[in-house]
Amino acid sequence: MSTEAPGPAAPSDALLSVRDLSVVYEPAGADPTFAVENVSFDLRRGEFVGLVGESGSGKSTLGFALTRLSKPPARISHGRILFDGRDIASIDSEALREQRQGGFAMVLQSGMNALNPVRSIRNHFFDVFKAHGHVPHDRREQRARDLIGKVELPAATLDRFPGELSGGMRQRVSIALALSLEPQLMVFDEPTTALDVLVQHAVMNTIRDLQKSEGFTAVLISHDLGIVLEATERVLVMHEGVIVEDGPSSQILSNPSADYTRMLLSHYADPRAEIVSLPGFEDRSIRRDQGVSRSALASPEHAPTVVTRSISTAQESIVVKGVSKTYPPPRRGEQPVRAVRDVSFTLEPGQSLALVGQSGSGKSTIAKMITGVEKPSEGSISFGGLDVAKLRRGQLRDLHSNVQMVFQDPYAALNPLHTIEYTLMRPVVNFTGLKGDDARHRVRELLDTVGLTPVEQFAAKLPHELSGGQRQRVVIARALASDPQVIIADEPVSMLDVSLRAGVLALLEDLREKWGVSLLYITHDLLSARLITDNIMVLHDGAVVERGETAEVLQRPTDAYTVALLDAVPNPARAHGAT
Amino acid sequence: MKYALRKVGLLILTLWAAITLNFFLPRLMPGSPTDAAIAKLSQNGPVTAATRKAIEIQLGVPDGNVLEQYLQYLKQVVTLQFGISYTFYPQPVAELVSQALPYTLILVGLVTIVAFVCGTLLGVLAAWKRGTWLDALPTLGGSFASAFPYFWTALLLLFFLGYVFKIFPTSGAYGVTNTPGLNAAFLGSAAVHAVLPAVTILITSLGGWILGMRNTMISTLGDDYVTFAEANGLKPRTVALRYAARNAILPNLTSFGLALGGVVGGSVLVETVFGYPGIGYLLLKAVTNQDYPLMQALFLMITVSVLLANFLVDILYGVLDPRTRK
Amino acid sequence: MTTTPLNPSAETVPVDDTLLAAPGPWQVITRVASTIWSNTKARIGVIILLLFVVVAIFAPLLAPYDPSATTFARSQDASAAHWLGTTAAGEDVLSQLIQGARISVFVGFVAGLLSTAIAVLIGLSWGYVKGWGADVINFVVNLFLVVPGLPLMIVIAAYLQNGGIGMIILVVVITGWAWGARVLRSQTQSLRGRDFVTAAVFSGERPARIVFREILPNMTSLIVGNFFGAATSAILAEAGLEFLGLGDPSTVSWGTMLFWAQNSNALLTGQWALLFAPGLCIALLATSLTLINFGVDGLSNPRLRESRKAAK
Amino acid sequence: SIDIKSAPDPSLGADTLLIAADTGSPSMQRVFNPYLPNTRIGSWNMFEPLAILNDLTGEDVPWLASKTTIPDPQTVVFTIRQGVKWSDGQAFTPADVAFTFDLLKKNPSLDLKGAWQYMKSVEVKGDDVVVHLNGDDVPAAQVIEQTQIVPEHIWSKVKDPTTFTNPDPVGTGPYTLGNFTPQEYAMDKNKLYWQADKVEAEHLVYPASNTQLDVVTKGYDWGFSFITDVKGTWEKANPSNTYWFPPGGTISLFPNLTEKPFDDVNFRKGLSYALDRKAVGDAAAEGYMEQAGQTGMLLPNQDALLNPAIPDKGLITQNDKTAASYFAKAGYTTKNGKLVGSDGKPLTITITTANGYTDWLRAVQSITKQWAAVGITVKVAQPQPAAYQLALRNGDFQLAMGSVGGTGSVYQDFANNLSSEFYAPIGKQASGNFGRYKSSEVDALLTRFKSTTDEQEQKQLGYQLQQIYYDELPSIGLYYGGSWGLFSTQKFTGWPSAKDPYTSPKTYVSTALLILTHLKKSEATK
Ligand SMILES: Nc1ncnc2c1ncn2[C@@H]1O[C@H](COP(=O)(O)OP(=O)(O)OP(=O)(O)O)[C@@H](O)[C@H]1O
Ligand SMILES: Nc1ncnc2c1ncn2[C@@H]1O[C@H](COP(=O)(O)OP(=O)(O)OP(=O)(O)O)[C@@H](O)[C@H]1O
Ligand SMILES: [Mg+2]
Ligand SMILES: [Mg+2]
Within this chain, do residues A235 and A330 fall inside the same structural domain, yes or no?
Answer: no
- Asked if the Cβ–Cβ distance from C146 to B218 is below 8 Å, we say no
Within this chain, do residues A355 and A222 fall inside the same structural domain, yes or no?
Answer: no
pLDDT string in tens for chain A (579-residue length): 334 444 455 566 788 888 899 999 887 667 788 889 899 898 888 899 999 988 888 898 999 888 888 887 788 888 888 888 888 877 888 888 888 888 889 898 776 788 998 899 999 999 999 999 888 889 899 999 989 988 888 999 899 888 888 888 888 899 899 989 888 899 999 888 777 888 888 888 888 888 888 888 999 998 888 888 888 889 999 998 899 988 888 888 888 888 888 888 887 777 877 777 776 665 555 444 333 333 333 333 443 443 333 445 667 888 999 999 998 876 666 788 888 999 999 998 888 999 998 888 889 899 989 988 888 999 999 988 788 888 877 788 888 888 999 988 888 889 888 889 999 999 999 988 888 888 999 999 899 888 887 888 888 888 888 888 888 889 999 998 888 889 999 988 887 887 788 888 888 888 888 888 899 999 888 888 888 899 999 999 899 999 999 888 988 999 999 999 888 888 777 666 544
What is the average per-residue pLDDT within B57-81? 78
The residue count of chain A comes to 579
Question: Which residue's CA is the closest to the ligand 1 atom numbered 27?
Answer: A55
Counting one residue from B and one from D, how many pairs have CB atoms under 8 Å apart? 178
Name the residue type at position D478.
Answer: L
Question: Is the model's pLDDT at C19 over the cut of 70?
Answer: no
- Stretch among A559-573, C18-32, D211-225 having the lowest mean pLDDT: C18-32
| C-alpha A362 – ligand 2 centre gap (Å) | 6
Of residues C268 and B236, more confidently modeled? B236
Give the Å distances, CA to CA, from D156 to A152, D99, D325, D433: 91, 8, 65, 37
What does the pLDDT read at residue A108? 85
Inside any domain, residue C65:
no
- Asked if the Cβ–Cβ distance from C88 to D355 is below 8 Å, we say no
Domain ranges of chain B: 2-78, 93-324
- Number of domains observed in the structure of chain A: 2
Inside any domain, residue A576:
no
Atom number in ligand 2 closest to CA A357: 21
**Alpha-helix runs per DSSP H in D395-495:** 410-418, 440-451, 455-472
Q: Domain B93-324 sits in which CATH superfamily? A: MetI-like (1.10.3720.10)
Inside any domain, residue C75:
no
Instruction: Give Cβ neighbours of residue A325 (< 8 Å, ≥ 6 apart).
Output: A338, A339, A340, A362, A365, A369, A374, A376, A377, A542
What does the pLDDT read at residue B64? 64
Atom number in ligand 2 closest to CA A524: 25
DSSP for B40-68, written as a single string: HHHTTS---HHHHHHHHHHH-PPSS-HHH
Question: Is the model's pLDDT at C7 over the cut of 60?
Answer: no
| Helical axes B110-128 vs B133-145, angle rounded to 10° | 140
What does the pLDDT read at residue A579? 43
Q: What is the pLDDT of residues D291-311, one digit of tens each?
A: 999 998 988 888 888 999 999
The CATH number of the domain where A496 resides is what?
3.40.50.300
- With a Cβ cut-off of 6 Å, ligand 1 is lined by A 25, 27, 33, 35, 53, 55-61, 73, 109, 223
What does the pLDDT read at residue D86? 96
Inside any domain, residue A271:
no
Inside any domain, residue A282:
no
Within this chain, do residues A183 and A52 fall inside the same structural domain, yes or no?
Answer: yes
Inside any domain, residue C259:
yes
Instruction: Give Cβ neighbours of residue B128 (< 8 Å, ≥ 6 apart).
Output: B217, B221, B236, B240, B244
Inside any domain, residue C266:
yes
Contacts of B240 in chain A (CB under 8 A): none
Question: Is the model's pLDDT at D181 over the cut of 50?
Answer: yes
What band does B73 get if pLDDT is binned at 50, 70 and 90? confident
Angstrom distance (rounded) from CA B182 to CA B185: 9
Neighbours of A381 (CB within 10 A): 22
Tell me which of A112, A335, A341, A361 to substitute to probe ligand 2's pocket, judged by most ligand atoms within 8 Å of the beta carbon: A361
What does the pLDDT read at residue A255? 85
What band does C17 get if pLDDT is binned at 50, 70 and 90? very low
Tell me which of A34, A61, A67 to substitute to probe ligand 1's pocket, judged by most ligand atoms within 8 Å of the beta carbon: A61
Of residues B112 and B175, more confidently modeled? B112
Question: Which chains have at least 3 CB atom pairs separated by less than 8 Å from chain B?
Answer: A, C, D
Angstrom distance (rounded) from CA D301 to CA D309: 18
Q: Do chains A and D touch (3 or more CB pairs under 8 A)?
A: no
Measured between CB atoms, does C79 come within 8 Å of chain D?
no
What does the pLDDT read at residue D457? 92
Name the residue type at position A506.
Answer: A
- Number of domains observed in the structure of chain C: 1
Question: Which chains have at least 3 CB atom pairs separated by less than 8 Å from chain D?
Answer: B, C
Q: What is the pLDDT of residues C179-191, one digit of tens each?
A: 888 888 888 888 8
Structural contact between residues D172 and D47, judged by C-beta atoms closer than 8 angstroms: yes
Question: Is the model's pLDDT at D395 over the cut of 60?
Answer: yes
Contacts of C24 in chain A (CB under 8 A): 417, 419, 462
| C-alpha A50 – ligand 1 centre gap (Å) | 18
| C-alpha A239 – ligand 1 centre gap (Å) | 12
Of D2, D3, D228, the CB nearest to C272: D2
Locate the chain D residue with the closest alpha carbon to C273. D1
Give the Å distances, CA to CA, from A454 to A459, A470, D115: 9, 13, 101
Of residues A303 and D21, more confidently modeled? D21
Helix (H, G, I), strand (E, B) or coil at A48: strand
What does the pLDDT read at residue C32? 72
Angstrom distance (rounded) from CA C307 to CA A379: 57
Of A373, A412, A482, the CB nearest to C196: A412
Distance from CA of C139 to the nearest CA of B (A): 7
Angstrom distance (rounded) from CA A292 to CA A153: 52
Of A97, A120, A174, the CB nearest to B228: A174
Angstrom distance (rounded) from CA B321 to CA B170: 44
What does the pLDDT read at residue C16? 40
Of B37, B40, B276, the CB nearest to D26: B276
- Asked if the Cβ–Cβ distance from C74 to D3 is below 8 Å, we say no
Residue A246's domain spans which residues? Answer: 15-266
Question: Which residue's CA is the closest to the ligand 2 atom numbered 25?
Answer: A359
- D38, D180, D411, D506: best mutation site toward chain B, by most B Cβ within 10 Å? D38
- B219, B220, B232: best mutation site toward chain A, by most A Cβ within 10 Å? B232
Inside any domain, residue A486:
yes
For chain B, what is the mean pLDDT? 83
Residue C106's domain spans which residues? Answer: 34-58+99-304
Instruction: Give Cβ neighbours of residue A296 (< 8 Å, ≥ 6 apart).
Output: none
Question: Which residue's CA is the closest to the ligand 1 atom numbered 4?
Answer: A25
Inside any domain, residue A280:
no
Measured between CB atoms, does A400 come within 8 Å of chain C?
yes
Question: Is the model's pLDDT at D61 over the cut of 90?
Answer: yes
Q: What is the pLDDT of residues B202-211, one digit of tens each?
A: 988 888 899 8
Beta-ladder partners of D85? D91
Q: Shortest CA distance to A190 belongs to which of A22, A40, A64, A360?
A: A64
- C68, C242, C244, C269: best mutation site toward chain D, by most D Cβ within 10 Å? C269
Inside any domain, residue C130:
yes
What band does C163 get if pLDDT is binned at 50, 70 and 90? low
Locate the chain A residue with the closest alpha carbon to B319. A118
Locate the chain C residue with the closest alpha carbon to A73. C307
Locate the chain D residue with the closest alpha carbon to B283. D26
Question: Which residue's CA is the closest to the ligand 2 atom numbered 29?
Answer: A360
Contacts of C214 in chain A (CB under 8 A): 415, 418
- Stretch among A125-139, C218-232, D333-347 having the lowest mean pLDDT: C218-232
Q: What is the pLDDT of residues D99-134, one digit of tens each?
A: 999 999 999 888 888 889 889 999 999 999 999 999
Inside any domain, residue A281:
no
- Asked if the Cβ–Cβ distance from B216 to C301 is below 8 Å, we say no
Q: Which of the given ranges, B166-180, D384-398, D436-450, has the highest pLDDT on average?
A: D436-450
Question: Is the model's pLDDT at C223 over the cut of 60?
Answer: yes
Q: Which of the given ranges, A73-77, B27-31, B60-64, has the highest pLDDT on average?
A: A73-77
On the 0-12 / 13-18 / 19+ scale of CB atoms within 10 A, D171 is buried
- Asked if the Cβ–Cβ distance from D385 to B35 is below 8 Å, we say yes
What is the average per-residue pLDDT within B238-243? 90
Q: Are strands A185-189 and D119-125 parallel, antiparallel or unpaired?
A: unpaired
- Asked if the Cβ–Cβ distance from A127 to B242 is below 8 Å, we say yes
On the 0-12 / 13-18 / 19+ scale of CB atoms within 10 A, A513 is middle
The residue count of chain D comes to 526
For chain D, what is the mean pLDDT? 91
Contacts of C41 in chain B (CB under 8 A): 140
Long-range contacts of A420-424 (CB under 8 A, 24+ apart): A420/A447, A420/A452, A420/A458, A420/A459, A420/A460, A420/A461, A420/A462, A420/A463, A420/A466, A420/A474, A421/A459, A421/A460, A423/A463, A423/A474, A423/A478, A423/C203, A424/A459, A424/A474, A424/A477, A424/A478, A424/A481
Angstrom distance (rounded) from CA C208 to CA C198: 14
Question: Which residue's CA is the closest to the ligand 1 atom numbered 31?
Answer: A56
Helix (H, G, I), strand (E, B) or coil at A60: helix
Structural contact between residues C251 and C268, judged by C-beta atoms closer than 8 angstroms: no
Angle CA(D279)–CA(D282)–CA(D286) in degrees, nearest 5? 155
Within this chain, do residues A242 and A331 fall inside the same structural domain, yes or no?
Answer: no
Q: Which phi and psi angles does A44 have, rounded to 5°? A: -90, 160
